[in-house]
Chain A
């Protein structure tokens, strides 16, 4: 799974907010067609790491390589231009707009014509593309013209993920995609994440829920107090090992596994 050069690689990335060392020399890599579960306790630095990759906070130190080349990600547009899409926990959907409008928000297809005011939205083309994308992802939604506010939490999450794919990204970062979802909806979202992997995307999933992480992730990266506290192959470890890496209690086992996967 982790053969070949990583798609996105962080090398000794640090980030400090005043007296708080939010990230301390973190190494991190995502390969194409791989799902990374990023876990850690509150304040461990998961969100900071994702925001650093997404260009919300620039890193203080360390290198970021994308497709093997060193890049600088100073603002969100840099990340988008590289092909890194982020789905934040609040999803950033407009509840009053339908699924099609939300998917194409800020990049609407317009018919050719003079002047921004007179150019008509190409609704048929957008609806057609939305239908194709959602059916490729096997996302089921009652109607493409339903207002997003009327959809269930799982459907909203799936719409947000589908929207991130419109820019043809290579890496997708998902912040707590299954938080506050019921069992069936969680399963839908996890299935969608597996389909992203099938599309050869690199996927990073932040989650508090280890059951979900074990269900989809190929590798699990643990952060603790801003440091990388262990890296596990999901099929070669147990929840206890991951939990002890998260909490730092009895972390010997974690270190063992850590070295096991790295060699």
Chain B
């Protein structure tokens, strides 16, 4: 009895001490995981800049940002699905179908652009909700449901487009989505607002923790985070301003990234998404409506796919039979995974949609500049994805080795 007591005291003392170790672990698996991607991105940029000094020009970086908006938006929905530990293979086809719906309603039926866009988004959401319901009601693997969707929605795209096969977009509201650039002043006003809001969020969060008597991150770390975001915002604004200005498309992408990251990290709904992805049975027993969460997440995925498809059509100024096809689906899924969202569910963030799209977009953009063939592009992108998935799997094995000793 007294032996047991002594052991307890000893072991509990031993378990308080590894706090610094714990911090290091969190750094390696949390912040450093995204730092790893940032370093990778810097490396990619350095290599392409070395090979072709137009790569880091303001014009090319602006092009790069425009190239990644559609994929990035679609990837946001994919992140939610990946957090559940599921997959949505239909996002490419859904993005094409939604764009076609918008184009047909606007061009052929003369709908107002706003209504046409709203209808396209609604179609995406409805498709997502349908697939999520089928998946959770009949317990069919999401892989199969959305694979069926991939085929079916591609067929629907051809059907909607009809015999023309291609529709050109002329409405200024729709084409303006991807082709509007703001003046220098407006750009700086936006940048100031972004930096100011971020500072306010950090400061208020810190003050709340102090008020609740909790130990907070030290001020130096907070200052560093604030400084980093401020510098990135200012540099990005300066670069974009020195070319055509801050594009509306980039601001749409950023607004969705920030908004959807807030939902997934700061709200009860987001917490439940993580819980279902981590341990669905535990979530169910804790009273979380697991199936409702699943349906909502697939609904979000369909919605983001539609929004991405609209942006892609706006940039292309047309919708055709190839819209949402080719490698778009794979790149939209590969991006978040490359940037650290786990394929196994329960780990990741919406930022990986942006970071991953940047990595993949940079590789593709850089290889275009070097005039490499599609063959090489596909193989290199495939290699990067494979590497990222292996890193994810190894990290998972390490976690399993650490836990439940």
- Interface residues of chain A, those whose CB is within 8 Å of chain B, are 90-97, 101, 105-108, 110, 116-121, 124-125, 127-128, 131, 140-143, 145-147, 149-153, 155-156, 183-185, 187-188, 190-191, 215
Contacts and interface: CB of A to CB of B under 8 A. Distances in A.
Contact of B211 (A90, A124, A145): A124
B31 interface: no
A188 B10 CA distance: 11
B402 interface: yes
B278 A143 contact: no
A127 B282 contact: no
A124 B263 contact: no
A191 B283 contact: no
Contacts of A108: 268, 271
B110 interface: no
B274 A96 contact: yes
A231 to B, nearest CB: 24
A142 B278 contact: no
B4 A97 contact: no
Contacts of B278: 94-97
A153 B282 contact: no
21 contacts: A91-B282, A92-B281, A92-B285, A94-B346, A95-B278, A96-B277, A96-B278, A101-B271, A106-B286, A117-B263, A121-B266, A124-B212, A127-B212, A128-B212, A142-B19, A143-B22, A149-B404, A152-B404, A152-B405, A183-B4, A188-B12
A107 B272 CA distance: 10
A92 B7 CA distance: 27
B283 A105 contact: yes
A190 B403 CA distance: 21
B33 interface: no
Contacts, number: 131
Contact of B8 (A118, A128, A156, A187): A187
B274 A143 contact: no
Contacts of A119: 267-268
A94 B212 contact: no
A238 to B, nearest CB: 16
Interface in B240-294: 263, 266-269, 271-272, 274-275, 277-279, 281-283, 285-288
B282 A94 contact: yes
Nearest to B277: A96
B225 interface: no
Contact of A118 (B12, B267, B277, B346): B267
A94 B1 CA distance: 33
A151 B267 contact: no
B15 interface: yes
B16 A95 contact: no
A151 B22 CA distance: 11
Contacts of A187: 4-5, 7-8
A215 B1 CA distance: 8
B347 interface: yes
B402 A150 contact: yes
A117 B272 CA distance: 12
B125 to A, nearest CB: 14
Contacts of A125: 212
B399 A150 contact: yes
B214 A124 contact: yes
B5 A116 contact: no
B274 A106 contact: no
Contacts of A151: 403
Interface in B1-48: 1, 4-5, 7-8, 10-12, 15-16, 18-19, 22, 25-26
Nearest to A88: B285
Contacts of B345: 96
Most chain A beta-carbon contacts within 10 A, residue among B272, B275, B400: B275
A156 B15 CA distance: 13
Contacts of A145: 26
Contacts of B54: none
A120 B26 CA distance: 24
Contact of A188 (B11, B213, B274, B281): B11
Instruction: Give 6 closest A-B pairs by Cβ, nearest first.
Output: A106-B286, A96-B346, A96-B278, A94-B278, A124-B212, A92-B282
A116 B8 contact: no
A140 B12 contact: yes
A150 B404 CA distance: 7
A94 B279 contact: yes
Nearest to B5: A187
A77 to B, nearest CB: 8
Given A94-B279, A106-B286, A108-B268, A190 B4 contact: yes
B286 A140 contact: no
Contacts of A143: 19, 22
A184 B10 contact: yes
Interface string B326-347: 0000000000000000000111
B214 A127 contact: yes
Contact of A95 (B267, B269, B403, B405): B403
Contact of B7 (A94, A116, A155, A184): A184
A106 B404 contact: no
A146 B22 contact: yes
